[in-house]
Amino acid sequence: MKTHKIGIILNGVTGRMGTNQHLLRSIDAIIRQGGVRVSPTEVILPEAVMVGRNEGKLKSLSERSVVKDWTTDLDSVLGDKAFPIYFDAQSTLRRFEAVKKAAGAGKHVYCEKPTAVTTEDALALYRICRDAGVKNGVVQDKLWLPGLVKFQRLKESGFFGDILSVRGEFGYWVFEGRSIPAQRPSWNYRKEDGGGMVVDMLCHWRYVIDNLFGDVKRVSCLAATHIPERVDEQGQPYPCTADDSAYATFELENGIIAHFNSSWCVRVRRDDLLTMQVDGTQGSAVVGLRDVWIQHYGNTPKPVWNPDAPNPINFFDGWAKVPDQEPYDNAFKIQWELFLRHVVLNEPFRWTLLEGAKGVQLAERGLQSSLERRWLDLPTLEA
């Protein structure tokens, strides 16, 4: 067996996403499975080093993981040729400088979204990497969720006919931190720390919509801060300077209308934390993170509006759950494997920092639309 060893700097893995999705469920899992098998005789095997500020956290992570190396000195590993890949899952505001530095040191770059908080910076990161001749990618994990994969299969088979519209509902109640501790970090609710629902979620909606339904051409967004004060990790009250909810409508090049409600102030009475109802001329689907429910034209009930009598139709009965028709791996891990193949074998990888910049652009235009209370076009980003 030929083994392609590849060194990876993992920065920000002491955080929520870094620890769970990138370290434990991706890199650790890939190493434990013996690497990424790329042919009957070849395998790519990551060799990672974790970078952070807190020695205690890094030590305890190295005890939970097969990744044993760690350092608090980013520069030392950036200067080390044994690690050609730099990965960043730090909190958003730290990304721009770190990625710039890594690309300057000749590292291939893979990082979390949003890649920056302004389109200008996000585009600059892409150009810096391109000009430095390093490969680059942004996490677009939702594309590999089982529910979204099942949707793509339905679409490929022509199930929907012409798709007319998409209704996305995302969110859940994030506790304010007074009696029950919050389940998200406090920086998410502070604009000055890179927080906010629009910045967080519109970059996801950009790649989800562009890849699944069609290119977004125009946005109308209303951002709101429903809860003005929360309590932080130290038990201190703080003012919420960022939006905690976004009500956004997207017009697509192909005429499809998508509307996504995103909120951390909503209680869930739906099938999943994210659902997208896709209605087409021939059939509809409700796409969750893992499961998808479908209703075909021939199975569509014919309701008659009469609120004076109980409705005789149980609308839930007309939907069938799509079975698991193939294996589904962790979405972050699948994308990591594709990025490693891109770096080592030069295989194509279309989820670049330019795609990341498109996500930042939608968030930025969404915020501007909210401030100005009007529709805004999305100009094509020139690479």
Q: Are 214 and 263 in contact (CB under 8 A)?
A: no
Q: Which of 8, 15, 129, 182 binds ligand NAD (CB under 6 A)?
A: 15
Nearer to ligand NAD, 67 or 89 (CB): 89
* Site stretch for ligand NAD (CB under 6 A), options 14-22, 36-44, 122-130, 346-354: 14-22
What letter does residue 242 receive in the DSSP assignment? S
**Lookup result for tokens 């951390």:** 264
Nearer to ligand NAD, 163 or 360 (CB): 360
Nearer to ligand NAD, 181 or 255 (CB): 181
> Which residue is nearest to ligand NAD, using beta carbons?
15
Residue 86 CB, nearest distance to ligand NAD (Å)?
A: 14
Q: Is 18 in the site for ligand NAD (CB under 6 A)?
A: yes
Nearer to ligand NAD, 83 or 160 (CB): 83
Q: Which of 26, 90, 136, 284 binds ligand NAD (CB under 6 A)?
A: 90
Single-letter code of the amino acid located at 94: R
Single-letter code of the amino acid located at 354: L
Residues from 134 through 153 that contact ligand NAD (CB under 6 A): 139, 141
- Separation in Å, CA 283 to CA 55, 322, 379: 54, 13, 32
Q: Is 94 in the site for ligand NAD (CB under 6 A)?
A: yes
Q: Is 335 in the site for ligand NAD (CB under 6 A)?
A: no
Binding string, 166-205, against ligand NAD, x = CB under 6 A? -------------------x--------------x-----
> In this structure, what token pair is assigned to residue 352?
């670049």
Q: Are 226 and 243 in contact (CB under 8 A)?
A: no
Residue 156 CB, nearest distance to ligand NAD (Å)?
A: 25
Torsion-angle region of 145 (φ positive above 0: left; ψ -120 to 50: alpha; else: beta): beta
Nearer to ligand NAD, 257 or 289 (CB): 289
| Three-state helix/strand/coil letters over 62-120 | HHHCCCCEEECCHHHHHCCCCCCEEEECCCHHHHHHHHHHHHHCCCEEEECCCCCCCHH
Q: Is 77 in the site for ligand NAD (CB under 6 A)?
A: no
> In this structure, what token pair is assigned to residue 225?
């801060």
Nearer to ligand NAD, 18 or 288 (CB): 18
Residue 195 CB, nearest distance to ligand NAD (Å)?
A: 9
Residues from 200 through 259 that contact ligand NAD (CB under 6 A): 200
Q: How many CA atoms lie within 13 A of 322 on its CB side?
A: 27
Q: What per-residue string of b and e applies to 115-140 under the rule 16 or more CB within 10 Å gives b?
A: bbbebebbbbbbebbbebebbbbbbb
Q: Which of 16, 37, 64, 350 binds ligand NAD (CB under 6 A)?
A: 16
> In this structure, what token pair is assigned to residue 98?
């770190």
Residues forming contacts to ligand NAD in the complex (CB under 6 A) are 12, 14-18, 52-53, 89-92, 94, 112-114, 139, 141, 185, 200
